[in-house]
Amino acid sequence: MVQSSRHDIVIVGGGAAGLRAAIQAAEANPDASVALVSKVYPMRSHTVSAEGGAAAIAREDDSLELHGFDTVKGSDFLGDQDVIQYFVEDAPRELALLENWGCPWSRNDDGSVSTRAFGGMTTKRTWYATDKVGFHMLHSLFQHSMRFPNIVRYDEFFVTKLLVEDGVCQGVAALEIRTGEFHAILGRAVILATGGAGKIFPFTTNGTIKTGDGMALAYRAGVPLKDMEFVQYHPTGLPGTGILITEAARGEGGYLRNNKDERFLVEYDYGVGDKAELGPRDMVSRAIIQEFEAGRGFENRYGNYCAVDLRHLGEEHIDAKLPFVRELARTYIGVDPVHEYIPIRPVVHYMMGGVDTDITAATPLPGLYAAGEVACGSLNGANRLGSNSLTECLVFGAVAGRNAMDFARGSADGDQARLVAQAEEEAARVEALRGNGKGSEQISSLRVEMNSALEAGCGVYREQGTMAVAADATRSIRQRAADLHLKDTSKVFNTEVISALELLNMVELAEALAVSALHRKESRGAHTCRDYPTRDDQNFLYHTLAHRTEDGPRLDRKDVNLGHWEPQERKY
Ligand SMILES: Cc1cc2nc3c(=O)[nH]c(=O)nc-3n(C[C@H](O)[C@H](O)[C@H](O)COP(=O)(O)OP(=O)(O)OC[C@H]3O[C@@H](n4cnc5c(N)ncnc54)[C@H](O)[C@@H]3O)c2cc1C
């Protein structure tokens, strides 16, 4: 028996983007009911783990033009310039607003907002609250959201399907994890704010919950995934766990070192001179891999690694600006950065690609919006600049909240019986999975195979041959995932079912990613193909769209919105 409830809009995701959207929608229309559905308690969303900061101009030596151009250049000219323009203009207002809601931005002695340097940015533009930015941002948003009685929360509800009737998205089907019961949560518009999909790779900074559910929900509902080939590696994750050592460690003056004790980045010509560590993430990650290949990496049981050296910054500075980095290094690898090197390697960090949206956060499916890491607007193009994405969640979370509410105001409630019938069908599909005792494929082994296929074929450096293998492998893994074997028959907190649903989502994305990557015969931003080492604007200055079909993704293209920043060689 499916339970049903009605709201004006439904938001899936309780991270920065989802909460910001909810506040915007609830504030705009106090009489409207806003459902906020999240598979974890909102404060456990991945946003909480962001460390480094959020970008917006604050200093006199900075300008909207500079923030805009840095972002366009960082994107390797694949970012949509109308989106970028809107973003840089709205960013300072959003960060100030967040402070009104309680976010304690670190300040200079004269009371001005303190900013730090991040890779690929011309000046210090990253606002921070020590190195626990995500925690403070999410806490302020969550706390503020509780002021609105018209935000109705569904915590620990796992959304498994978008309910689409008459070509309009009108709600979601969700599994209540605590009871195992199904719900039809209906609204006249839906916003996806479900975050990224780093867990499709084996080494990642991403939390366990980042399985790209929202991307798969939209993909199955016929919405294309855009630019899935662009995956950001962060140069400094801990080997083994992938735990992030924030870019702020380099922004505050840390060095990267190889096994010869050299500050090797100085040798890589980005044009950033003695600020070699402040190159953008894609370039620094490639440099580290080249050091490994030249035999200049350290080695331990997890393979090669390089080191972050903070020793010259001194204990006082480290404790004042990077206390969390010290805490993480001590706790997870028993290293005190005041005296020792922190081992690091490039790890998957962020998906530039995602659900195809435009500047209004709308997807091509009427009634469906998306914001935050799940969406591809495209602010980040082929490579995201560090600290732009937290701000993106705020700016485009608000846009999505506003526009979804407007859409809902202008439309009538859908046919409840038909929507609930769809949710009943969905409940039956999931029920058939639970403890099925049939099937020959194990969730864990398929997951490992998927992880390995992507790491081998679609890592920092890619080749046509290895990408083709990854595309074949991910297709076969997706097909085999239809035959999963589950043992746990219980309804209450059945985590095996959740893992199965997450895997079924991830295998769709893995294939879309590999196929999109294989088709792009050039190197741009985070997509570095050894067979085609240069950027090819003549043939590839467009967004890739992947449409789902039973036989695998069908690729299409979408124009990039160019503006007054003409494509040029990306040099630092
Ligand atoms: C370790 C780390 C550090 C980072 N540091 C920075 C930084 O310093 N600066 C910066 O700009 N960016 C940083 N990023 C990136 C940035 O934090 C993320 O892109 C951003 O927080 C994503 O927010 P979001 O709201 O889109 O999604 P998330 O915060 O990931 O939230 C997703 C929400 O969706 C819900 N959800 C997902 N699937 C379902 C489902 N099936 N059903 C119901 N609910 C669902 C989850 O419960 C969750 O509430 C960092 C990322 C990581 C991993």
* Residue 401 pLDDT: 98
* Residue 131 pLDDT: 84
Q: Which of 496, 511, 517, 500 is nearest to 447 (CA)?
A: 500
* Residue 271 pLDDT: 62
* Residue 51 pLDDT: 87
For the chain, percent of residues with pLDDT exceeding 70:
99
| d(CA 373, ligand 1 centre) in Å | 7
| d(CA 360, ligand 1 centre) in Å | 20
The architecture (CATH level 2) of 434-539 comes to Up-down Bundle (1.20)
Query: Measured from the CA of 54, which atom of ligand 1 is nearest?
Result: 11
The span from the CA of 253 to the CA of 263, in Å, is 12
Q: Which residue numbers are catalytic?
A: 234, 250
- State which of 36, 37, 40, 45 you would mutate to test the pocket of ligand 1, scoring each by most atoms of that ligand within 8 A of its C-beta: 45
* Residue 204 pLDDT: 95
Q: Which of 335, 287, 331 is nearest to 311 (CA)?
A: 335
Residue 342 has pLDDT above 90, yes or no: yes
Q: In the chain, where are the structural domains located? A: 3-230+352-421, 235-347, 434-539
| Overall residue count recorded for the chain in this entry | 572
Whose alpha carbon is nearest atom 5 of ligand 1? 50
* Residue 24 pLDDT: 98
- How many of the other CB atoms lie within 10 Å of CB of 271? 7
- pLDDT bin (cut points 50, 70, 90) of residue 571 is confident
- Top-confidence residue, 117 or 326: 326
CATH topology for 3-230+352-421 is: FAD/NAD(P)-binding domain (3.50.50)
CA angle 158, 430, 152 (to 5 degrees): 25
| Residue 156 beta carbon below 6 angstroms from any ligand 1 atom | no
Q: What would the pLDDT profile of 297-327 be if each residue is shown by its tens digit?
A: 999 988 899 999 999 999 999 999 899 999 9
| d(CA 15, ligand 1 centre) in Å | 6
Residue 205 has pLDDT above 80, yes or no: yes
What does the mean pLDDT of the chain come to?
96
Sheet holding 368-370, edge to edge: 151-155, 34-38, 9-12, 189-192, 368-370
The span from the CA of 139 to the CA of 135, in Å, is 6
DSSP state of 454: H
Q: What would the pLDDT profile of 356-408 be if each residue is shown by its tens digit?
A: 999 999 999 999 999 999 999 999 999 999 999 999 999 999 999 999 999 99
Q: Average pLDDT, stretch 523-534?
A: 96
Q: Give Rg (Cα) of the chain.
A: 23
Chain centre distance of CA 66? 24
What CATH code would you report for 235-347?
Answer: 3.90.700.10
Q: What would the pLDDT profile of 80-91 be if each residue is shown by its tens digit?
A: 999 999 999 999
Query: Measured from the CA of 372, which atom of ligand 1 is nearest?
Result: 26
Q: What is the pTM of this model?
A: 0.97
* Residue 450 pLDDT: 98
Residue 269 has pLDDT above 80, yes or no: no
Residue 244 has pLDDT above 90, yes or no: yes
Whose alpha carbon is nearest atom 51 of ligand 1? 50
Q: Average pLDDT, stretch 218-241?
A: 96
Hey, what are 202's tokens?
């084996």
| Residue 352 beta carbon below 6 angstroms from any ligand 1 atom | no
* Residue 281 pLDDT: 87
- pLDDT bin (cut points 50, 70, 90) of residue 270 is low
| Residue 375 beta carbon below 6 angstroms from any ligand 1 atom | no
Q: Average pLDDT, stretch 4-33?
A: 97
Q: What would the pLDDT profile of 25-83 be if each residue is shown by its tens digit?
A: 999 999 999 999 999 999 999 999 998 899 999 999 999 999 999 999 999 999 999 99
Q: Average pLDDT, stretch 486-495?
A: 97
Whose alpha carbon is nearest atom 6 of ligand 1? 50
Residues 6+ away with beta carbon under 8 Å from 438? 485
